[in-house]
Amino acid sequence: KAGVTQTPRYLIKTRGQQVTLSCSPISGHRSVSWYQQTPGQGLQFLFEYFSETQRNKGNFPGRFSGRQFSNSRSEMNVSTLELGDSALYLCASSRKYQETQYFGPGTRLLVL
């Protein structure tokens, strides 16, 4: 069974731009969570979607948004990029609520 895939793997943007990251969960998984990983803050929870509904949201500004499609694929969007948004963005999927999360390889975003 294929794992969680994330595209693109690497991205370079400039301040003020916006970016969209994509995540395809493991087949049959309906929950998708997003995390931001930085050297200073570690792994921080962004939000979680289940069956196209956002169920949980972390403590991030409204510039960070996401959505989930009927096939469980998810996208996250960051508008008006700031230098501090440079990070590894990880997507994780689980079959259902409260089950083990399986992580993708991440998208490394660099904001210049």
Partner 1 sequence: AQSVTQLGSHVSVSEGALVLLRCNYSSSVPPYLFWYVQYPNQGLQLLLKYTTGATLVKGINGFEAEFKKSETSFHLTKPSAHMSDAAEYFCAVSQNTGNQFYFGTGTSLTVIP
Interface ranges with partner 1 (CB under 8 A)? 4, 31, 33, 35, 42-43, 45, 48, 50, 55-56, 58, 90, 92, 94, 97-98, 100-106, 108
Nearest distance from C-beta of residue 88 to partner 1, angstroms:
9
Beta-strand (E) ranges in the chain? 5-7, 10-13, 19-24, 31-38, 42-50, 53-57, 64-68, 74-78, 87-94, 102-103, 107-111
- Whose Cβ is closer to partner 1: residue 58's or residue 75's? 58
In whole angstroms, the minimum distance from the beta carbon of 57 to partner 1 comes to: 9
Shortest distance, CB of residue 37 to partner 1, whole angstroms? Answer: 9
Q: Which is nearer to partner 1, 79 or 86 (CB)?
A: 86
Closest to partner 1 by CB, 15 vs 55, is 55
What minimum distance in Å lies between the beta carbon of 15 and partner 1? 25
Q: Left if phi > 0, otherwise alpha if psi is -120 to 50, otherwise beta: which for 62?
A: alpha
Whose Cβ is closer to partner 1: residue 17's or residue 56's? 56
> First and final CA of the chain: distance in angstroms?
37
Amino acid at 86: S
Q: Compute the distance between CA of residue 109 and CA of residue 4 in angstroms, rounded to an integer.
A: 18
